[in-house]
Structure formats: structure tokens, C-alpha cells
Chain A
Amino acid sequence: MKRLVSVIGSLLLLSHAAAAEKSMHPAFKLLDAQGQSVVTAATPVSTMRTCGGCHDTQYIAEHTDHGGHGQQPKPEMNCFLCHLPNPDNAARLGEVQAGRSQWAATATLATTGAVKKTAAGWTWNQAAIGPDGLIRPDFPRPVPPSSTHCGLCHGQVHKGSAPLVLQHDRGNRITDATGQVFAAQRLNDSGVNLTDKDNLARPWDVHAERLLECRDCHYSLNNPAHTAGAEQTKPAHLRFESRKLTPAEYLLRPDHSFANGHAETKRDGTMRRCESCHDAAVSHSWLPFPQRHFQAMNCESCHVPQVYAPARQQVDATVVDLAGNPLVSYRGISGPLGASTSLVRGYSPVLLPRQETDGTLKLTPHNLITSWYWVAGDASQRVSDAALKQAFLEGSTYHADIVAALDSNRDGQIDASELRLDSSQKVDAIRRRLEATGLKNPRIVATIQPQSLHHGVAAGRWATRQCAACHSRSSRTSTPMELARYLPGNVMPTLASNANVQLSGAFSHGASGELIYTPRPLNSGRYVIGHDRWLLIDLVGLLAVAMTIAGVAVHGGMRIRAARKRSNP
């Protein structure tokens, strides 16, 4: 019966979601920056003008973190990118990268058939648009942004039944940095070559499976459908804040500053967190000392127990490859990134005390990315990619001085094992090359950038539920994480200055010289019963017990001896 109700509920939700995709948006005119029809003027479309006919685009431009604050939106971003059902992001990026940002919004419409690229540039299709710029009835209408839209820039979002294949390109930077994927598909239905895949019947993210979209948590702050913002700012004596925007008012001026968790802005803490929707006390009645657990750790600590995609581990920007790129290595994968033969193992995130917006510290799963790079000058400014390429490369080959410095086996080539600064001579050689480009006092620095994990969430049955997972000697709270396979320039990394976590654990070196970080919860004032012990206390206690036993044994032995003597004088 429960299953039947669940299926019916899911179908209702699906039908609701399908209905939500049908846009009620009226037809509109595609206008250029002067307010002229793009068809007659043959000019790039202006979203400020086109959308500004009904929406207060100036207000939106001034209230967005997806564009220039208080100015016109950044040319890279435009309304179509997030509000058309199927925007052409590749065409948009092509225009931006070609330096034709004014055509970026127009290129975004390429999939609509309203415009197409010709040798002469972008040409408007008069069959899709009226002479006055009014779109035809079959032109796709704007929709609320879905997770797919967010995924175009932020990380991998996958919908549909096609097997998911991991992508680590520029548009998937969150996935690249952390391995987080927002998809409803089950891991064992995906196209990823995962270890123990047959047994991984959980979805990539339970919230995606339950039909949530990014906007459900990262909502527009003045969206009347999301009352959390109003609830947070209402006077303390008010039980209900009725002064909310009407839908019409909201549609006129939708705030495009979206709720977030930790962006060091005024919107800190506005995002819907787990506890905003879930009453953990109800669903964790099985958990002993639930409040203590909730005080000590974020939900993700147990509900993101494992990441099933590779994630950045080490960035060595002290050298560049022949393409001029820094060397990037990933954790959680055996073999090259993107190769279908590579086995994806994923990784267990490291649990670090993270400062919450209320000032408390809670354990939160993280990936740690350690980067080595050159800085120069008194201000320790990072050496640009261009300067590094200039120092290393001469056309499509390495500069002769670089080859002389790094080519250990003298075969005239620099192979992968040679392309690393593992001696002071190599560091000095590169330093001299950088100085030759005009840089003053170039030196290597290394930072550890923690990336907290909040997606790729597992439902209860896939979450960490065994007490021994944390309350044991091999506790999750002190599971080590490899930071780097080698130390470029032998420089030890330090925690990035903008990090909101504590690294109170220990650094050590593995057998092959790899750098390992092991958290020590006790060092940050966390005592995990069953895992943490004070050695001194146990030594003193054991000594007390041992001395008592010894005393009893000696005294008892002497009594027995004395009694025997008495009985056998």
C-alpha cells in the first residue's frame, strides 16, 4: 500500500513538474539596444530592451550576482541563457571567446531557429520573427530557470534516461572541483565506469530524484513563493509577515540575487538548508543523542558519505604542459580523466570543522584542492598564465633553458615524470626564466582550498548510519586525505586565507612522498567518544590499576607466605 501511494505521489509530482514547464509567458518582441526590431535593424538583440518591455531590467541588473552589480548585465550573461527552455550556450560561449560579446545574447537564441550564423555573421530568420520583432507562436517561451540552466555554468546536471557521462569541462567547475553531480539517475544506470557499480542503486542526488530544482534552495530573495526571506527579516513580535510582493509585483522586479550559504555577502545564510525543509528530529528517532549530533555536524557529514566522481586534488601551476596549462591531478580515478577505460573509485570526503553563519563550527564534508603556483613582487601577485607560458614555451616546444633544467635523462624531451620542480636547481632555473620576463622576486607558494560538499546527497538508507563509522579508532572524523603526490619546489601548503574551516589536524608524508592530511578532531575541541582519548589520562589510569594489582599481588602473596610459615613453623 505504501509503495502504491508512493508511486501515485511520484506520478502526481511528475505531472506537476511537466505542467510547470509549460510557460504562460506571452509573446514578445526581440529588440535591439535602441529599441528597434532586430529583424529590420539586423542588430544584436538586447535583453535589457526586449525583456525590459514588461520587466524592470534595470532593477534586475542592479540586483543580480549573475552580472555587473549596479550596471548593465555582463555581456556574458543574458536573460535567454537561464529563461529559454533550450538556450544555445555553446554558440554564446563561442561569441564571448571570439571577443564578440555584443552578439552573445543573440547567439544564445540559435537553437530557437530565430537566428543563425552565416559567413556574414548572425542573421535573423524572418520566418520565426515578425517584421516588428514579435516572435511567432512556435517560438519557445521563457520558463523559470531549471537546474539544467544552472548546470550550464556551475556543474554537471543530468536529466533524462540517457546514461550519464561525467564531464569535467569549463562549464562544470563544481563537478570538476568536487565531483558533485546533480542528477536523479541511479549510479548503476549511469555510463560511468564505477567501482562496485552493480551495488550502487542510489541516485546521484536524492534531491534531483525527488524533482527539486536548484532554485528551490537558491531562490530569488523576493520571490513570494519562498517565504523564508520575509520570515528572517520580519520584526520579532510578528508571527506572520503578510507584506509580501504579489506575483505581478515580483514578476516586474524579481530579485536576481539568489539565496546562498557562504558567499560572504549580505545574503549569507539566506539559502534553504537541510533543516529548512526537513525535521531531522522526526526522521532521526533511531539516532542516539540526535541533538548532539546535529550540533556537532552538518547533515552532509552523513548524507554525503562518498563522492562517486573524480575531483581535483592537486594543481601544479609551477610548470605548464605544452598546451600552456598547469598540471592537474584528480582523486577518485585510476587512469586518465574522461577515458572510458578509467576506473572511477570516487572518494570519501574529509570532515572538517566549518564555520557556520551563526559562528558555530560544524563538521562538514570537504574536498581539499592543493595548488602550487608562482607569485612575484612585493604584493605577492600571482604570476599570470601568459607570463608562465612565456617563460616555459617557445612556440609549441619548451624553451631550451627549460629543457636543460628539467630533462633529467637528457633525451631532449620533458616527459611527465620530469615535468615537476623537485629540486632547488630546477626551481632556480624556472625562477631565472620568470625573472627574464620582467618579474621580480618570483617564488612558489602553495595553498589548500577546501571545497565543501552539499550536493550528491544520499537518502537515509545510503547515508552513514553505523555508529562505529565515527565512534571507533578508524573514525570517519579522522579519515586521512591525500593532498598531493609530490611537493613542487618542496613548498608546504597552507590553508587559503579565505577558507572558513579549521585545519587542526596533522600533515604527514606517505611512502612515496605524497602529502597526507589527517584531521584531529580533538585539536579543534571536538571529543568523539570511542575515537578520541587522552593518552596521559589512560596512562595514569592504567598505572593506578596496575599498581593496585601489583600491590594486591605482593600483599596477598606475603600473607599466603606468612600463613604457610605459621602452619609449618
Chain B
Amino acid sequence: MKQVYFYKLYERLWHWIQALAILGLLSTGLTIHFPSLCQLGFVHAVTIHNLLGFILVGNAFLALFYHLTTGQIRQYLPQPRDFTTQAVQQATYYLRGIFRNEPHPFQRSPLARLNPLQQITYLAILNLLLPLQVLTGLALWGAQRWPGVIDALGGLPILAALHTLIAWLFAAFLIGHIYLTTTGPTPLSNLRAMIVGWDRIEENHGNTEPQVQRL
């Protein structure tokens, strides 16, 4: 095992800001959706929700800029070659190998942090769910400024329904995401890596090379 510097300071900062924003958005969103659940008060919940929404959007744009300019964006792009085979390998590991203490099919490295299932999941979240959630959220926030646009998009009943559905899906993703952080060498090693930046990987691993080469 050797210590590798996985996450730079900005990447960790971005991740945790996003994590806190999403947690805050989900909890305030729940308060707005079910006002009787929380004593925070409707108006406070709306104000905080809007603020966190803009923080999330701002943070996402900064991260996009960072990932584009540093080339890190490629980590999120699944490679068509052997993708299905590798995804099946990863799924098989989660369904069987993990219980037998088999090694991860793909060794993580600073240049290849994500396995094929993570890549496809993030691709869907970052390109579909997040933009849709941001757009519907912006539409709800801006309903008073652009009523015509909002009506053309189906009005609040449709936009709010879509926003709520995606929020539920984000909540489900969050649970899965947090759980999967425990599938590292130790249950807390991935979490620790996202906090301090350093992680431990095996020195020799058969499947590391192809992903590194692709990058």
C-alpha cells in the first residue's frame, strides 16, 4: 500500500460545498414541501433554499471551469471501448466479489478515480438531473419575473412536480453515494481521502494501467 495524493484542495472544497448545499437544499426543500414537518418557518426555508441553490449553481460553474481547464473533465467521460464489459465487471464486484473480499476490479488512481459505473452515474446526474433541477429551480424562483416563460414550460404545477421528483432522486442518490464511500479498502478510507486529500492504494494492481493510459 502506498499513500497517493488524490484530491487537491479545491476539489475537496468544491465537493464539500456541494455536499453541504445539497443537504441543505434537501432539508429546506422538505420543509417547503411539508411545512408542518419543521418549525423553521416557510419563509426562512424558502430564503435559505434559494440562497443554497445559487451557491450550488455558482459552485457547479466554478467546478465546470476547473474541470474543463485542467482536463479533469475526462475522468467523468466513460470510454466506449470495453465499457459494457468493465461495467459488468464492476457490477459483479458489488454483487458478489465484495462479499468474498475480492480486490476491486479497477484500481483507483489520481488520474482515474472513477469506475465505469460511477462514470455513467455522474454523467446522468451532472448532465441530466442537475441541469434539470437547476433549471426548474430557477424557473420556480423566477416565476414572478418571467411568467410567460413559466407558463410556456407548463406552469408551476409541472415545474414544481419535476423539481420535487428530481429532489427525491437526488436524495436516493445521496444515500447510495454515502454508502458506496464505505466500499474502499476500509469503510472510512474514501471519506478520509475526500477530507485530507490522501488515500492508500495497492502498489501493484492489474487493471490500473489501461485507465491511466486512456487519460
What chain B residues lie within 8 Å of A291 (beta carbons)?
A: 144-145
Contact B157 A527 (CB under 8 A): yes
B138 within 8 Å of A (CB atoms): no
Which of B36, B147, B172 is A544 in contact with, Cβ under 8 Å?
A: B172
Give the shortest distance, in Å, between B12 (CB) and chain A (any CB): 24
Contact A530 B169 (CB under 8 A): no
Which of B32, B167, B182 is A541 in contact with, Cβ under 8 Å?
A: B167
Contact A292 to B143, CB < 8 A, known contacts A530-B42, A532-B157, A552-B175: yes
Contact B155 A525 (CB under 8 A): yes
**With the chains together, A563 CA to B36 CA distance in Å?**
43
**With the chains together, A292 CA to B159 CA distance in Å?**
15
Nearest to B164 among chain A residues (CB) is: A537
A159 within 8 Å of B (CB atoms): no
B160 within 8 Å of A (CB atoms): yes
A468 within 8 Å of B (CB atoms): yes
What chain B residues lie within 8 Å of A540 (beta carbons)?
A: 165, 168
B176 within 8 Å of A (CB atoms): yes
Contact B165 A471 (CB under 8 A): no
Contact A473 to B35, CB < 8 A, known contacts A290-B144, A527-B155, A559-B98: yes
**With the chains together, A473 CA to B47 CA distance in Å?**
20
Q: Kindly state the interface size class of chain A when it binds its partner.
A: 35 or more
**With the chains together, A140 CA to B36 CA distance in Å?**
63
A515 within 8 Å of B (CB atoms): no
Determine chain A's interface SS by DSSP, over half rule. Answer: helix
B10 within 8 Å of A (CB atoms): no
Contact A522 B157 (CB under 8 A): yes
What chain A residues lie within 8 Å of B144 (beta carbons)?
A: 289-293, 295
B174-199 interface bits toward A, Cβ cutoff 8 Å, 1 = contact, 0 = none: 01100100100000000000000000
A566 within 8 Å of B (CB atoms): yes
What chain B residues lie within 8 Å of A293 (beta carbons)?
A: 144
Give the shortest distance, in Å, between B124 (CB) and chain A (any CB): 14
B58-101 interface bits toward A, Cβ cutoff 8 Å, 1 = contact, 0 = none: 00000000000000000000000000000000000010001111
Contact A525 to B168, CB < 8 A, known contacts A468-B42, A533-B33: no
Give the shortest distance, in Å, between B139 (CB) and chain A (any CB): 12
A472 within 8 Å of B (CB atoms): yes
Q: Which of A519-563 contact B (CB under 8 A)?
A: 522, 525-527, 529-530, 532-534, 537-538, 540-542, 544-545, 547-549, 551-552, 555-556, 558-559, 562-563
What chain A residues lie within 8 Å of B167 (beta carbons)?
A: 541
Interface residues of A (CB under 8 A from B): 288-293, 295, 467-468, 471-473, 522, 525-527, 529-530, 532-534, 537-538, 540-542, 544-545, 547-549, 551-552, 555-556, 558-559, 562-563, 566
Chain A to chain B contacts (Cβ below 8 Å), 20 pairs: A288-B43, A289-B143, A290-B144, A292-B144, A468-B41, A471-B42, A472-B36, A527-B156, A529-B140, A530-B33, A541-B165, A541-B167, A541-B171, A541-B172, A548-B172, A548-B173, A548-B175, A551-B176, A552-B179, A559-B99
Given contacts A541-B171, A545-B171, 8 further A-B contacts (CB under 8 A): A288-B46, A292-B147, A295-B144, A468-B42, A472-B36, A529-B156, A541-B165, A544-B171
